[in-house]
Amino acid sequence: MINGKVTRRGLMLGGLAMLTSGCGSGMRQAMSPISSAFAIPQGMDPRLRRQEVAYQGSEAPGTLVVNTYERFLYAVQDGGSATRYGIAVGEEGLTLKGRATIERKEEWPSWMPTASMIKRKPRLAQYAGGVPGGPNNPLGARALYLYRGGRDTYFRLHGTNEPWLIGQAVSNGCIRLTNEDILHLYDNTPLGTPVLII
């Protein structure tokens, strides 16, 4: 959607059934109906929708704060406010913690399960060669890549083709946002942005 109007691309994507899940629960075996790759799921808790909120933390404007316990990502702004996004987080023990930096950004990123993901979930071996970017990719419409000390952590902030999972702990560690929200975050997050994951 652009300025409240349905675009041709959005309409085409809306007709697709999504086969995948983001960063880690892997590709799904059965198709689930979905009205759009960018749809907010019916019944989604309104608190999980993107909104401007007061921010009382100590992080500087321009920082992304990922609160895995609350299941929110805060894009800290000037004046004591933040844009808050509902997120899905990693399963217990699979979430990155601490500081990182956005060092890479991709539109319609490709995805390949890591060796540790395949070890935990052997069914993912069928995707060891990777899944090309596009509407059926588990990383969704955009991805922001987290680095530490110049090295890829293999953790991402990314979209998802299963927006009904926002608010849950379901991935192999990456942070998922709705495709609509990752587009917003992507457009407003420059390379070099600091990230704190708590």
Q: Give CA 170 to chain center in angstroms.
A: 12
Whether the Cβ atoms of residue 122 and residue 5 lie closer than 8 Å to each other: no
- Per-residue CA distances from 76 to 55, 96, 106 (Å): 7, 20, 22
Contacts of residue 161, defined as CB under 8 A and 6 or more positions apart, other chains included, come to 18, 19, 20, 21, 22, 34, 37, 135, 136, 137, 138, 140, 179
Q: Which residues are catalytic?
A: 158, 174
CB neighbours of 115 closer than 8 A, spacing ≥ 6? none
Structure tokens at 158: 């990314």
Cα(23)–Cα(59) distance, rounded to whole angstroms? Answer: 27
Q: Are 48 and 167 in contact (CB under 8 A)?
A: yes
